[in-house]
Amino acid sequence: MPTPNTPDAVALLKADHRKVEELFASFEAAKGDGKKKALAEQICMELTVHTKIEEDIFYPACEGAVEEDLLKEAYVEHDAAKVLIAEIEAGGPDDEFYEAKVKVLSEMIEHHVKEEEQRVEGMFAQARKAGLDMDDLGERMAAEKKQLVAEYKAKGLPRPPTPTFQGTALA
């Protein structure tokens, strides 16, 4: 039974998508290295938490309920985003490619969100059509999200696991 004010899984994930879109827009408009760095760090935090709850809870629940290729692409897209997140986190506005990395991350996330949210064929639509318990998934994801935000704020972002990338060892 969902607790009041806890969104279902799709509503929670879509709210995350809207928040990150706003942060990317703020980054584009920001003036000054300090503001850009703070926004980039917030983007990285939001995306790190979001990808973790999707990979820990939502995507496993979608196995067998959504197109396998769509799910595999989502995992690979996450891993590619994690590499850029690690690069952004390790750098700063003084770095030659810093803003380009944030821009490319924004474009990758825009594509990823479109595939998840697309009507009828998107992952969210397929998951709903399959009858997944979105209230239960939302509860579990909200609880994990709360715990991860506290942990990451205290300890910093972890080194991202990229299980779909096996051909290259990243330093």
For residue 130, give the amino acid letter: A
**Has residue 171 got a pLDDT over 70?**
no
In the predicted model, what is the mean pLDDT of residues 108-117?
96
Mean pLDDT, all residues of the chain: 93
Closest-CA residue to 48 (of 86, 74, 96): 86
Q: Which of 16-25, 68-77, 111-120, 151-160 has the lowest mean pLDDT?
A: 151-160
What pTM does this model have? 0.91
Please give the angle made by the CA atoms of 20, 23 and 28, to the nearest 5 degrees: 130
Question: What are the DSSP calls for 59-75, one per residue?
Answer: HHHHTTTS-HHHHHHHH
Contact 33, 94 (CB under 8 A): yes
pLDDT in tens, 53-101: 999 999 999 999 999 999 999 999 999 999 999 999 999 999 999 999 9
